[in-house]
Each structure stands twice: as C-alpha cells, then as structure tokens.
Structure 1
Amino acid sequence: MSNRLLTGLLMASSILGSAGIALAQDKTLTIESWRNDDLAIWQEKLIPAFEKANPGIKVTFSPSAPTEYNAALNAKLDAGSAGDLITCRPFDASLELFKKGHLADLTSLKGMENFSDVAKSAWQTDDGKASFCVPMASVIHGFIYNKDAFEKLGIAVPATEDEFFAALDKIKADGTYIPMAMGTKDLWEAATMGYQNIGPNYWKGEEGRLALIKGDQKLTDADWVAPYATLAKWKPYLGDGFEAQTYPDSQNLFTLGRAAIYPAGSWEIATFNTQAQFKMGAFPPPVRKAGDTCYISDHNDIGIGLNPKSANAEAAKTFLTWVASPEFASIYANALPGFFSLNSAAVKMEDPLAQEFVSWREKCKPTIRSTYQVLSRGTPNLENETWVKSANVINGTETPEAASAELQKGLDSWYKPAK
C-alpha cells in the first residue's frame, strides 16, 4: 500500500471518526403538548430558530389531542416514557404534576427573571417560592368592535361605563345591528367574556383576587357584587333569543356583520381576521368613571417545563432559557396573534388588532381570572359555579346579590383561607 493511499485512508478514518463523535454528542429533545393546532409553527419557525443558534441539540414537537393530553401525559410520566419537555396547562393541573415530582423546579433557571410575579403565578407553588414552568403566553380580555358600524353610526370608542352604555343605546336605537353578540346557553361565555372581563375594574385586579384567597374579602362584598349588577344591564342589548345562543352562534353573528360589539378573548383574533369582511378594532373593559385605574384580565394560558427524568436535562434547560428569551417571545406571539408573550420585554405585534390588545398592558394593570388559582379545587367548583351564576344574572333569573351569596356559600363549604 502506498504512503499516499495510507495517508488518505487515515485522514478519511479520522474525519469519519470525528463525525461519529459529533453525532454521538447530538441531543434530541421531545416536547409533549396538547396544542396540535400549532404544530406547523413549531416545525417551521420556532424549532429552526433554536437549532440554528444551538447546533448539536435537535428538537421534536410531539403533540397529543387536547382532550387526551392530560391522561396521555400522566400515563407516560408514570411509565417513565414522557418527553424531555412538558407543555404546562395553567394552575392546578401543572401544580399537581410538580407535587408528584413530574416537573422540575425551575426557580433558578436563567431567564426566569424576565417574567413578573403575575406572569409566573400560574406555574408556582401557592407560596410563590418555587416555579416549575417557563411562562409562554397569555390571553387578554376586552371588546372587539365593528369599525364600519361605529363609523356609520358616529360612535366614539367608549372609555367609561357611561360611554359604553350610551354606545349600546345608540346602536340599539338605529336597529341595523345587534348591539352586542353574546349568548348564555354555553354558560362559560357569560363568565369568561362577561364577569371575568369587566370584573377586575371593580375588585382592583390582583388586589381583590389575592384578598379573596386570603379570606380578607368575600364574594358578597360590594366590589364583587357590582360587576354582576353591570352584567344584568347587558340583557337588553344582546338580541332576541340570546338565552339559546351558543358560543359559535355569537362568533358567527359578529363575523357576519350582524352585531357591532363582541365581548372577547384575544384568541378570537386569528379566526376573526379570516372570517370578518369589515374593519375591526378593540377596546379594554371601560372603567367605572373617568380617571379610574384600568385593569385587564391578562390570563396565563400556556407554559413549558422540564421532565425531571429527562436524560438530556442540560440541553432541555438550554431550550427553556431560549423560551424565556425576547427572541422566542417575538416569534411565538407573532405566529399566534392573540396569544401574547408573558416576557417582560415588549413585543411589537405585526397584527394590528393583536397590537391593540397588547398595548393595554402599558396603561392597565394585569390580573388573572379570579377563580383559577386555589379557589376551584373543591366542590362546588367556584369556576364552574361562576359560569352558572353569570348566565343566570344576565338572563334575569337571579339577582346579583343572590348569585354572589350562593357563590360565597359554596366556597365557604370547603375553603378555609390560611391565616
């Protein structure tokens, strides 16, 4: 064998050996998720951006059907076959996983300093001392309106409750549009887009929510009854037969241009953009009177955590630190308009309606839905009971005072605030 050939073979062997070592060092991370609707966003935008910046770490997004996720994930975790990264639902479901040792403590993870206490609250222990998921996105409540209808009727965007009801009166008097598209048949719509939408302006957001958990306030206090009194005034503006109107009915009434205002969650943005043939705008829940501080429900929706049994924990932490970065926040929020970054770094939204929603963070104080943390762990479940009472109040079958008293009675039957 010639020296030249021998040298060539040795070089080839060395190169192949190096490639083999590099391949052996590659880590592959698997993400468990219920969000099968955003598979393309992960595959086409998020994962390529991460892998480009982190050669040697590969990522696979492996979603389950939303209705099957909890059961499937728990089965995998119990069997030791779950992925490295666990997409986290907010509050109690993820807290239970942490208590069982299925989510790692991420309190000291680099990047967690980029999130406020409110942002982290859905994935923390009750005492706030341990965080176990990186916050990814929230949804914001407010009102989406038909700009063409407002311009046609000469209505200015309302900032106060008096202006809001004056606008509804003007729309109703004209008769062209149903003033507001919301039904009560599905129950949750009345609570989520009604009570939890306007309520924070009454109970002062986090101040009232935390006071309720501590037992310093009750649902029978004036600031918790008053939003129901306001909801009761919505009834004349919801159109004929709203009691039998489902959530999809409400969506269709608005996107077909038959209603002027839609009490909304920001998750509607992408769908409405494809269906509505008119210009849309949005405004935050009107304050009670001019000069009041405004509050918005900026509700934590999705996070991501680490499986403690992952064989690739360090690579997974690298990925989670990237999820906590402004780069991830910008890509994710713009790929899914209406699901807003919880990162403290401001994210400029490309979608104008989404940008309108997220701009409220600059002038209003954020809070989360009052029933979601701690207060819905027992029976009767406060969240589900709030659906029923909100619908009853709007339908006029129960007074605000009676509804609030029943809710507090149910809560008192099982919940004893820690003192």
Structure 2
Amino acid sequence: MIRTMKLALLASTVLSGAAMAEDVTLTIESWRNDDLAIWQEKLIPVFEAANPGIKVVFAPSAPAEYNAVLNSKLDAGSAGDLVTCRPFDASLDLFKKGQLADLTSLAAMANFSDVAKSAWQTDDAASTFCVPMASVIHGFIYNADAFAELGIEVPKTEAEFFAALDKIKADGTYIPMAMGTNDQWEAATMGYNNIGPNYWKGEEGRKALIAGTSKLTDEQWVAPFRQLAKWKDYLGDGFEAQTYPDSQNLFTLGRAAIYPAGSWEISGFNTQAQFKMGAFPPPVAAEGDECYISDHTDIAMGLNAKSAHPEEAKKFLEWVGTAEFANLYANALPGFFALNSTPVTMEDPLAKEIVGWREVCKPTIRSTYQVLSRGTPNLENETWNASANVIKGTETPEDAAKRLQEGLASWYEPQK
C-alpha cells in the first residue's frame, strides 16, 4: 500500500512537472513604455485566458533607445520572441537581415488591406513581416473652454486659423500654440508633415517625390515651410529651448490654447487636462478645398526569426490580427486607430472626433518614411532640423527646401 502511494505521488509529481514544463513564456519587445499597464491589465490576460500554457511578458525599452537596444539584442540573440515593429525601412532592414520572420502566410493577414500592410512589406509586396496594429492621425487639439471664452470658432481655412491665433495672442490669457523646437522631431512630425499633405495632395505628392517627378524645391513642398515660418510669433517666449514634455505640460496645464498634435496624445491628455478638449484637421487653403490628413501607419508586431517558441508566438500574432484585439487595443489606447478591416467603434469622444476625419479627408503617410530615408543624409532627420530652423527663423523656407533636395539628390537616383 505504501509502495503504491509512493508510486502515485511520484507519478503525480512527474505529471505536474511535465505540465509546468509545457508552459511557454513569450516576451514582447516594444518602444511604448507608457503602455505597460494596458498590456498587463487589459490585453495579455485576454490572450492567456484563451491560451493556457502560454504566458506573455511585455518588456519595453525607452522610445529613443528602442532601435539601438533592439538591434543589439537581435545581434546578440537575446531579443524577445515578439518584436514591436516601426513602419517601413527600420523594420524592412531587420527583415532583410533575417531577424524578422516572414509572416505572409499567417491567416490573420487576410484581415488587413494592402494599404495597412504596406508599411511592413518588401518593396514588391511579396513578403509581409509584421502584423499591422494601429495608425496615428495628425491635426490640432485645442482647449475648448478657451475657445468658448474667447468666442473663437473652430478654424477650417488657413485664414481662419491665423485669425484665431491672432485673437488668442491679442487677449494674452493663453499662449496661442504649444510647440517647441528644442527636440526638432516635433517641428517636422506635428508641423511639416501635419500641414504639408494639404499642399502636396497627400499620396499623389508623396509618390511623385519617390518617382522623381517632383522635387522638394517645387512650390507644394516649399509652401508648408512658409506656413511654419509664421508659427514663430505664436509659440510663446523661449520656444527655442522648449522640449516636447514642456509643450505637453503647457497645454495640459491650460496655459496654451492649441497643440499641434498626434492622436497618440489623447490618453495622456485625458488624464492630465482639467478642461474640455476638441480637435480639428489641418486647415485647407480655401473653403471647399479637398482636405488631406496624415493617417500614419505607426505600429505592428513581428516574430523574432530566432525565437525559441515560434509556434506559440504565431498564436499570439494570429490573435493580434483579430477584430477582438483591434477593439481592445484601440479603446484601451484611444488615438491609436486600428488597421484591422473590421470597423472599431471608438468610446473616447476625442478619438472618435479625430478618426471621423477619415470620412471627409484623404489619408496619406509621412512623406519621408518610405524609401526616401534609406540613404545619407537621412531625409527624415534632415526634415526635423529644417523644420525647426524655419520656425526659429534661422533658415528660410527656400533654403531649407534647397538643402533637403540637394541631400536627397546626392544619393537617390530618381532625384538626380
């Protein structure tokens, strides 16, 4: 009897050990360190409940360090199983180096349009290497209480936009617009590539630049710089030294009336701002003009080609490609709009307002992200610098455009 019990206990222990051994832990690499709680509390538990035996750990890096940290880990063979993918060339380089797996045959890929997948495909679209998750939309977020207090209507045209800025400046209660040039990237991302699509007609202009049939010195590419040069008078004292977090604080503390924005700000602004907010798309030149928005494919997820658990990781990626994930993610992170073909009903009013622009404006992506930043000088980084200089007044719009064109033509054959 004792021997039988010992054998039973031994068998139980072995079986228990085997069950425990079957548990697999997947690690997600990401630059979105502000999303940690959302992944831990709202996303991962849903997947784990449906997939017993698979545990998931979200392990982000600081955004500015992510590319370097990820590349180092991938080279060393220590990266996580799942890799959050930046759009276009950064991820394409990883795929070409054999560090991201080909996910073309993943069943969930059928849930995405060709446009949604284009940011994570080879140039010939033959291979897709990341599952699209979300895009971000550019425009302007404003303090609705300040607008009501000053009797300002939401601007639709450039003339109305500058009239609103003039009125805010004349009143003196608020800084008209919260943006600095210290960090440079926001001058291009929330400046040049925010207002620019209305000038170069979105995808039409972007593709013409890639084809070499348009140059950065053409009027439609210089004109956005001319508008940026006018912003200087509305950014408040010391904007040259103002960092990105400084600008966020100025707006959420109620000291500035307008914030040139990316929709990713919504979650943070909702928790920090004590006033009602609204949003408007980049104003057009004249009433009735067609409007364009930067609806930028921003984030996706891929598979580390050297993952020790590729099948379990693919299960997770299949789930990332479902309507269930799209709905959970888009509403947990309002402002990161789902790329899944199944429509998501947004619960957040500001996010709902911004995503509604898709119904009236033509979408495009940031002009520098596909193909045009593969060489040296890097057009994306150069556009940061040029945009900041133009706003500060240290470079004219024409000189900035000429410098960018010369840099691009120095290495990009269609522009020579």
Normalising by structure 1, we get a TM-score of 0.90
Identity percentage of aligned residues: 78
Q: 1:299 aligns with which of 296, 301, 307?
A: 296
Matched, 1:380 2:358: no
**Partner amino acid for 1:49?**
V
Q: 1:37 aligns with which of 31, 34, 38?
A: 34
Post-superposition offset of 1:259? 1.9
Cα distance per residue 1:180-207 (max 9 Å; x no partner): 2222333222211111100011112122
Residue 341 of structure 1 aligns with which residue? 338
CA distance in 2, matches of 1:165, 1:120: 37
**Partner amino acid for 1:263?**
P
Cα distance per residue 1:268-299 (max 9 Å; x no partner): 22222232221111111112222222211122
Residue 93 of structure 2 aligns with which residue? 96
CA distance in 1, matches of 2:362, 2:167: 30
**Partner amino acid for 2:220?**
D
- Please say if residues 118 and 367 of structure 1, whose CA atoms lie closer than 8 Å, have aligned partners that are also in contact: no
**Distance change in 2, residues 1:54/1:400 (3 Å):** same
**Partner amino acid for 2:223?**
A
Bigger Cα displacement from structure 2, 200-209 vs 50-59: 50-59
**Distance change in 2, residues 1:113/1:217 (3 Å):** farther
Residue 128 of structure 1 aligns with which residue? 125
Post-superposition offset of 1:68? 4.6
Q: 1:227 aligns with which of 215, 224, 229?
A: 224
Q: 1:162 aligns with which of 126, 134, 159?
A: 159
Residue 246 of structure 2 aligns with which residue? 249
Q: Secondary structure at the match of 1:134?
A: strand
CA distance in 1, matches of 2:81, 2:260: 38
Residue 395 of structure 1 aligns with which residue? 392
- Please say if residues 134 and 298 of structure 2, whose CA atoms lie closer than 8 Å, have aligned partners that are also in contact: yes
- Please say if residues 27 and 56 of structure 1, whose CA atoms lie closer than 8 Å, have aligned partners that are also in contact: yes
Bigger Cα displacement from structure 2, 340-349 vs 18-27: 18-27
Matched, 1:269 2:232: no
Residue 366 of structure 2 aligns with which residue? 369
**Partner amino acid for 2:365?**
I
Bigger Cα displacement from structure 2, 278-287 vs 388-397: 388-397
Cα distance per residue 1:113-171 (max 9 Å; x no partner): 22233322322222322211111222221101111111112221112222212222322
Post-superposition offset of 1:317? 1.4
**Distance change in 2, residues 1:235/1:57 (3 Å):** same
Cα distance per residue 1:320-372 (max 9 Å; x no partner): 11101121112122222232222232222232222222222222222221112
- Please say if residues 334 and 350 of structure 1, whose CA atoms lie closer than 8 Å, have aligned partners that are also in contact: yes
Post-superposition offset of 1:82? 3.0
**Distance change in 2, residues 1:244/1:12 (3 Å):** closer
CA distance in 2, matches of 1:217, 1:376: 16
CA distance in 1, matches of 2:186, 2:350: 21
Q: 1:328 aligns with which of 325, 347, 350?
A: 325
Residue 115 of structure 1 aligns with which residue? 112
Alpha-carbon RMSD across the aligned residues, in angstroms, is: 2.7
Residue 310 of structure 2 aligns with which residue? 313
Cα distance per residue 1:216-269 (max 9 Å; x no partner): 211112211121122223233223443343333322322222221111112222
Q: Which runs of 5+ in 2 are unaligned?
A: none
**Partner amino acid for 1:373?**
Q
Q: Secondary structure at the match of 1:234?
A: helix
**Partner amino acid for 1:285?**
P
CA distance in 2, matches of 1:52, 1:183: 45
CA distance in 1, matches of 2:60, 2:230: 43
**Partner amino acid for 1:287?**
V
Matched, 1:236 2:233: yes
- Please say if residues 215 and 415 of structure 2, whose CA atoms lie closer than 8 Å, have aligned partners that are also in contact: no
Q: Secondary structure at the match of 2:369?
A: coil
**Partner amino acid for 1:104?**
A
- Please say if residues 294 and 365 of structure 1, whose CA atoms lie closer than 8 Å, have aligned partners that are also in contact: yes
- Please say if residues 144 and 275 of structure 2, whose CA atoms lie closer than 8 Å, have aligned partners that are also in contact: yes
**Partner amino acid for 2:288?**
G
- Please say if residues 124 and 130 of structure 1, whose CA atoms lie closer than 8 Å, have aligned partners that are also in contact: yes
**Distance change in 2, residues 1:129/1:418 (3 Å):** farther
CA distance in 2, matches of 1:372, 1:108: 26
Q: 2:193 aligns with which of 192, 196, 201?
A: 196
Q: Secondary structure at the match of 1:111?
A: helix
**Distance change in 2, residues 1:67/1:169 (3 Å):** closer
CA distance in 1, matches of 2:62, 2:291: 37
Residue 411 of structure 2 aligns with which residue? 414
Q: Secondary structure at the match of 1:138?
A: strand
Q: Secondary structure at the match of 2:413?
A: coil
Q: Which runs of 5+ in 1 are unaligned?
A: none
CA distance in 2, matches of 1:404, 1:62: 40
Q: Secondary structure at the match of 1:278?
A: coil
- Please say if residues 409 and 415 of structure 2, whose CA atoms lie closer than 8 Å, have aligned partners that are also in contact: no
CA distance in 2, matches of 1:67, 1:166: 36
Residue 106 of structure 1 aligns with which residue? 103
Q: How many residues align?
A: 416
Q: Secondary structure at the match of 1:108?
A: coil
Residue 81 of structure 2 aligns with which residue? 84
Residue 214 of structure 1 aligns with which residue? 211
Post-superposition offset of 1:66? 4.0
- Please say if residues 408 and 415 of structure 2, whose CA atoms lie closer than 8 Å, have aligned partners that are also in contact: no
CA distance in 2, matches of 1:145, 1:80: 46
